[in-house]
Amino acid sequence: MSTPEIRTVANTVELAKEAAELFVWFGQQAIARSDRFQVALSGGSTPKALYSALASPEMSRQLDWDHVEFFFGDERCVPPEHEDSNYRLAHDGLFSPLKISADRIFRMYGEMDSPDEASRSYEDVLRNRFGVSAPDWPRFHLILLGLGDDGHTASLFPGTPALREETRLVVPSMSPKGIAQRLTFTAPLINHAEAVMFLVSGTGKASPVRDILEPRQHAEVPLPASLVKPEAGRLLWILDRGASAQLTMAKQQVVPHEE
Ligand code: 6PG
């Protein structure tokens, strides 16, 4: 398991820029190596600024978007046009501006009546696109993640059965806030990625960030995001000053962007 690479930037604008540059870099590497870039997007509101940065003329011309396959690490169980849909945020901020072809966008079917059926159908999509059968795991080039103030990531919430899943790729989950019913990648699927990148902004996340990156001895139950430990991949945390505020000074150094 690799040591987390922590990059602290000044603010949300710099966070989006750093994340966009890394997204493009990972994409260029993947396309050069395997002729495609299979990336899972995160949910919540933080990615909005990332999408805007990626869709900018300066950034968007740096990646061959026809070779990018978009997936989602979690979804709320709502229709795709719903204001809380993670797919809708990406559609409006990234897919539509860049005119991404629908046949390279693989959303979770949050609108299905049965979340279990929806999660199993998404597992089939993943196995098909990655060409792997159980017990092998799809290996994403990059998985983007956010962090909740309770330490959740994707839709892996504290105290839920999804945290203990060891064989399935995608499972239904329940959120204590907002849209309750969710679909989420499982921890083992995330941990099989080549690279995982957390994007975290704001002082409201400083406490879980510290608990995850600088755990105190004999900490109580680990937070869900602590389960993210890529077995053979890179783990990056891109933090703004607010999110890194409770880390030791050494980890708060604002770093210039480099690969
Ligand atoms: C979701 C997310 C969730 C999100 C965090 C951070 O569907 O809500 O996947 O894990 O990334 O809650 O959300 P913000 O970016 O809005 O702070």
DSSP 206-239: HHHHHHHHSPPTT-SSPPGGGG---TTSEEEEEE
46 lines ligand 1 (CB under 6 A): yes
Please give the C-alpha separations between residue 15 and each of 4, 86, 257, in angstroms, as whole numbers.
Answer: 17, 19, 10
Q: Which helix (H) or strand (E) holds 134?
A: none
Q: Which atom of ligand 1 is nearest to the CA of 73?
A: 9
Residue 205's pLDDT is what?
98
| Alpha-carbon torsion, ordered 167, 172, 176, 178, to 10 deg | 140
Three-state secondary-structure class, residue 54: helix
| Alpha-carbon torsion, ordered 27, 128, 193, 121, to 10 deg | 120
201 lines ligand 1 (CB under 6 A): no
**Rounded distance from Cα 232 to ligand 1 centre (Å):** 25
Predicted confidence pLDDT, tens digits, the chain (259 residues): 678 999 999 999 999 999 999 999 999 999 999 999 999 999 999 999 999 999 999 999 999 999 999 999 999 999 999 999 999 999 999 999 999 999 999 999 999 999 999 999 999 999 999 999 999 999 999 999 999 999 999 999 999 999 999 999 999 999 999 999 999 999 999 999 999 999 999 999 999 999 999 998 776 789 999 999 999 999 999 999 999 999 987 666 666 555 5
154 lines ligand 1 (CB under 6 A): yes
Residue 230's pLDDT is what?
98
| Residue ID of nearest Cα to ligand 1 atom 14 | 44
**Rounded distance from Cα 43 to ligand 1 centre (Å):** 5
Residue 242's pLDDT is what?
97
194 lines ligand 1 (CB under 6 A): no
Residue 251's pLDDT is what?
65
Answer yes or no: are the C-beta atoms of 7 and 236 closer than 8 Å: yes
Q: How far apart are CA 225 and CA 60, in angstroms?
A: 30
* pTM tops 0.95, yes or no: yes
Cis peptide before 230 (omega within 30 of 0): no
Q: How far apart are CA 144 and CA 40, in angstroms?
A: 6
Joined together, the tokens standing for residue 178 give: 């907002």
